[in-house]
């Protein structure tokens, strides 16, 4: 399978999770937009991805509705694993005409911070850190050399920013700034934009 344009990275530490992506929306060698937000907060969860932008937006809308429906019908909050599994099932249902996307999904619940990686047909893998998209090979090298599960969220945000910057410098389909989404182990959420 051809690499999907963009770079998105997720990182899980003991204190929470950080997801990030750059903002360039490209088609081949043509830049369609420099303002494409690829990191989203869905309820108490974070989602980032690479691939067809419209597919990522659609999956974000579907997950918003499905999570609210689950919580209203059961009367209790959905866990991170259950929400990731729900996304996996949705992706698998469309396997004949898949959403062209690689997704990072994470959040914090009573089991602590969790990060999942999903492919276009719903494979679900839990990991401590991951990178998807055309800049993933560059970013993963930075993460592997410096990742420590005991680092605090500020250091984790700096590491993920460093990895995205490395991808931007070497991948033509990545660029135009970095969106960071940070969630601590209490569920507090912070969103940052870093021009680059």
CB 69 within 8 Å of CB 22: no
Q: How many CB atoms lie within 10 A of CB 94?
A: 15
Q: Which of 7, 58, 60, 74 is catalytic?
A: 7
Among candidate residues 47, 26, 45, 46, the one with its CA nearest the CA of residue 36: 26
Could you confirm whether 74 is annotated as catalytic?
no
- Rounded to whole angstroms, how far apart are CA atoms 102 and 121? 9
Closest to 103 measured CA to CA, from 137, 128, 131, 81? 131
Quote the tokens at residue 130.
């991951």
Question: Which whole-number Å values give the CA distances from 160 to 79, 81, 146, 190, in the listed order?
Answer: 25, 23, 10, 15
Query: Cβ–Cβ contacts within 10 Å for residue 45, how many?
Result: 26
Q: Which residues does the annotation mark as catalytic?
A: 7
């Amino acid at each position: 399978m051809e690499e999907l344009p963009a770079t998105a990275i997720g990182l899980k530490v003991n204190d929470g999770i950080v997801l990030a992506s750059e903002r360039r929306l490209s088609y081949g060698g043509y830049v369609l937009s420099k303002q494409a937000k690829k990191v989203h907060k869905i309820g108490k969860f974070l989602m980032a991805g690479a691939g067809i932008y419209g597919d990522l937006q659609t999956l974000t809308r579907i997950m918003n509705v499905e999570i609210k429906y689950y919580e209203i019908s059961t009367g209790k909050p959905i866990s991170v694993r259950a929400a990731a599994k729900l996304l996996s099932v949705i992706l698998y249902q469309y396997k004949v005409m898949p959403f062209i996307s690689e997704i990072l999904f994470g959040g914090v619940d009573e089991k602590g911070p969790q990060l999942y990686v999903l492919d276009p047909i719903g494979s679900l893998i839990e990991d401590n850190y991951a990178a998807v998209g055309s800049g993933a090979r560059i970013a993963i090298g930075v993460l592997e050399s410096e990742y420590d599960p005991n680092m605090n969220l500020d250091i984790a945000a700096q590491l993920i920013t460093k990895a995205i910057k490395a991808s931007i410098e070497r991948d033509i389909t990545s660029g135009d700034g970095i969106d960071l989404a940070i969630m601590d182990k209490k569920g507090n959420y912070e969103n940052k934009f870093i021009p680059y």
